[in-house]
Chain A
Amino acid sequence: MKEKIKFDDHQLDTKIKNLFTEATGNLKMDTAFRHKLLTISEEQRPLSPFSRFLEKEICLPVFSLPAFAVILMILIGISAHSFLLPENSPQPKYEIVEMNYGDLNMCISNRY
């Protein structure tokens, strides 16, 4: 049976530090990289306010592509529905009234 390893606080602190030392111990900038960083300082000009605005990173939370696609399709469906031509438009009701020419003249002469 595997013996359970135990750490007291001080041992744990030491262990954590040693782990980071082991992981990063050899890591250093080489001469070429140092020179590259120095060269950038000479070549770089300060950004204008407009450039600074353009370079600003804005993270938009987009939950997932399928969910986004579904929402998009629903919106297209809703807006497409308003463009559909109605199949059976209600016909205007016309009432044809037949009038005699004589009756029409009498109406007009009574008025004047």
Chain B
Amino acid sequence: MNQQEKLMTQQLRDKNSLTYKKLIDDCGDRLLRLAFIVVGDQQIAEDVVQESFLALYQNIETFRGESSIITWLTRVTINKAKNVLRRKKLKSIDFKEGIDIQDTSPLPEEYLETKEKKVKVRNLLLSLPLKYRDVLYLYYYEEIKIKEIADILDLTESGVKSRLKRGREHMKELLVERGVAQ
């Protein structure tokens, strides 16, 4: 942990509200997207992120500093999201977008097509096994280095590389199977 991170940890322990705000601004959106990728539901993802920050506030005094705060938060968010899945025994969740069923006016075709495509994409991602999904997301979307991914997921670097390789192969099969155009 470098000096900047040590300072941030100390400020968080001192309940510095500006530091908390900066932390929320820096990584809140990222954690929300990560939780969403795991659980597939925005509301549940928000609850997961809230629980993660709550865990940070409750345990900041005992934070040992073996990794950075953001890495710790990311790890906690993934674990809490996985716990939600385990508890609810949700293996795959179809993306549900709020539709006002009272509104019976015809929707524009373009809007329907975009919505359908979004649902298709999300269902495709959620059908990827979780152990590949989180690694692929952290590597390709968040562009995190393999060493940090290993730290977040509590794996070895070779374990991360192995999952990335198998995840890519699995994704390739899914894309070909579902005929997803480039």
Contact = CB atoms under 8 A, between A and B. Distances in A.
B134 to A, nearest CB: 11
Nearest to B118: A22
Interface in B29-65: 29, 32-33, 36-37, 42, 45-46, 49-50, 53-54, 57-62
A12 B24 contact: no
Nearest to B60: A46
A29 interface: yes
A112 interface: no
Interface stretch (A37-45, A63-71, A73-81, A101-109): A37-45
A111 interface: no
A37 B53 CA distance: 7
Contact of A17 (B33, B37, B140): B140
A45 B59 CA distance: 9
Contact of A28 (B20, B32, B58, B62): B32
A12 B168 contact: yes
Interface in A22-48: 22-24, 27-29, 33-34, 36-38, 40-42, 44-47
Contacts of A59: 86
A46 B54 contact: no
B36 A41 contact: no
Given A17-B140, A27-B29, A27-B45, 20 more contacts: A5-B179, A5-B182, A15-B175, A20-B37, A20-B125, A20-B137, A20-B140, A21-B141, A22-B118, A23-B121, A24-B37, A27-B32, A27-B36, A27-B42, A29-B28, A33-B46, A34-B28, A37-B49, A45-B58, A46-B61
Interface of A: 2, 4-7, 11-13, 15-17, 19-24, 27-29, 33-34, 36-38, 40-42, 44-47, 52, 57, 59
